[in-house]
């Protein structure tokens, strides 16, 4: 039965991944509801249902629009597949529990922001503001930490990122600050510190790989949002185990 439910969650993840792509690409342009039907970004032709099947349509069309033959960004199928895998794994990891709801909320936040940051180097305020009351309600109903710790986590995140933003003189964006602040509220103090550490670690490794590929050195523009999202999902799935492991190394 678990296999069947995992497959169902995977399929729904693919479908919502397609929607999250649209949110991430349209919200920064303020066009989320300006056109209800999906369309080709190049020729602006309205897409048929055959062209909207997550992942498979991209593969069948060989990554090109059926009319204008312009290449479709691989970001679309990649994020659809990533969403499907994350949603399925969240169910596999937590089953039907409050943690499943938290995971689905977090995925719904992380994926559109990742898409937006990759495409435009922007983390939209509208997405963050939309999810804050949802996480607040979740925290009040299923508190991960005491409310004071959630507020402290958000405060530490805001203060630390504001300091980095000031010292880096543009190396860290205001969107990253707001994103971390929201995650600080979600995870609390320890969870935020682990999220921040992992985001920096993932960003460092990913940044070095990207700079080597582009051969542009320090001039390479690297969106940090995807690494923040990856760190947040890691903390969701394995945060407690990582913190316990680290504390054991210290001999406490």
More confident residue, 35 or 198: 198
For the stretch 217-237, pLDDT in tens is 666 678 899 999 999 999 999
Residue 33's pLDDT band (cuts 50, 70, 90): low
pLDDT of amino acid 190:
94
In the chain, % of residues over pLDDT 70: 86
Nearest Cα to 227, choosing from 252, 251, 195? 195
Residue 180's pLDDT band (cuts 50, 70, 90): very high
Same-domain status, 36 and 100: yes
In SS3 terms, the chain reads as CHHHHHHHHHHHHHHHHHHHHHHHHHHHHCCCCCCCCCECCCCCCECCHHHCCCCHHHHHCCCECCCCCCECCCHHHHHHHHHHHHHHHHHHHHCCCHHHHHHHHHHHHHHHHHHHHHHHCCCCHHHHHHHHHHHHHHHHHCCCCCHHHHHHHHHHHHHHHHHHHHHHCCCCCHHHHHHHHHHHHHHHHHHHHHHHHHHHHHHHHHHHHHHHHHCCHHHCCCCCHHHHHHHHHHHHHHHHHHHHHHHHHHCC
- Choose the final residue of a domain: 93, 124, 155: 124
Residue 99's pLDDT band (cuts 50, 70, 90): very high
Same-domain status, 120 and 149: no
- Choose the final residue of a domain: 67, 91, 124: 124
104 occurs within a structural domain: yes
Q: Poorest-confidence range of 49-58, 122-131, 174-183?
A: 49-58
| Whether pLDDT at 252 is above 70 | no
Distance CA 64, CA 60 (A): 9
Domain that holds residue 56: 1-124
Output phi, psi for 236, to 5 deg: -60, -50
| Whether pLDDT at 104 is above 90 | yes
Same-domain status, 79 and 179: no
- Choose the final residue of a domain: 124, 157, 177: 124
**Overall domain count for the chain:** 2
More confident residue, 65 or 142: 142
| Whether pLDDT at 129 is above 90 | yes
Q: What is the mean pLDDT of the chain?
A: 87
Supply angle C-alpha 53, 14, 204, rounded to 5: 125
pLDDT of amino acid 165:
86
pLDDT of amino acid 60:
82
Provide the β-strand partners of residue 39: 46
Residue 167's pLDDT band (cuts 50, 70, 90): confident
pLDDT of amino acid 138:
95
Same-domain status, 162 and 83: no
Nearest Cα to 108, choosing from 238, 21, 200? 21
Same-domain status, 201 and 99: no
| Whether pLDDT at 36 is above 80 | no
pLDDT of amino acid 37:
65
| pTM (two decimals) | 0.91
């Amino acid at each position: 039965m678990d296999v069947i439910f995992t497959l169902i969650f995977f399929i729904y993840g693919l479908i919502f991944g397609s929607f999250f792509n649209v949110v991430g690409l349209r919200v920064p342009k303020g066009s989320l509801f300006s056109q209800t039907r999906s369309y080709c970004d190049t020729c602006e032709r309205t897409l048929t249902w055959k062209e909207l099947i997550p992942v498979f349509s991209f593969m069948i069309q060989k990554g090109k629009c059926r009319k204008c033959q312009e290449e479709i960004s691989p970001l679309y199928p990649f994020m659809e597949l990533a969403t499907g895998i994350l949603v399925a794994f969240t169910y596999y990891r937590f089953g039907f529990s409050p943690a499943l709801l938290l995971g689905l909320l977090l995925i719904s936040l992380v994926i559109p922001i990742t898409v937006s940051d990759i495409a435009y180097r922007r983390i939209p305020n509208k997405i963050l503001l939309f999810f804050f009351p949802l996480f607040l309600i979740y925290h009040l109903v299923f508190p991960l930490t005491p409310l004071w710790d959630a507020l402290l986590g958000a405060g530490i995140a805001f203060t630390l990122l504001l300091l980095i933003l000031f010292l880096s003189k543009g190396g860290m964006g205001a969107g990253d600050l707001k994103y971390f602040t929201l995650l600080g509220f979600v995870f609390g103090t320890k969870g935020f510190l682990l999220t921040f550490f992992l985001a920096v670690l993932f960003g460092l490794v990913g940044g070095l790989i990207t700079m080597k590929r582009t051969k542009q050195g320090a001039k390479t523009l690297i969106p940090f949002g995807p690494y923040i999202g990856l760190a947040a999902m890691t903390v969701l799935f394995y945060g407690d185990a990582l913190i316990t492991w680290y504390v054991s190394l210290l001999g406490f």
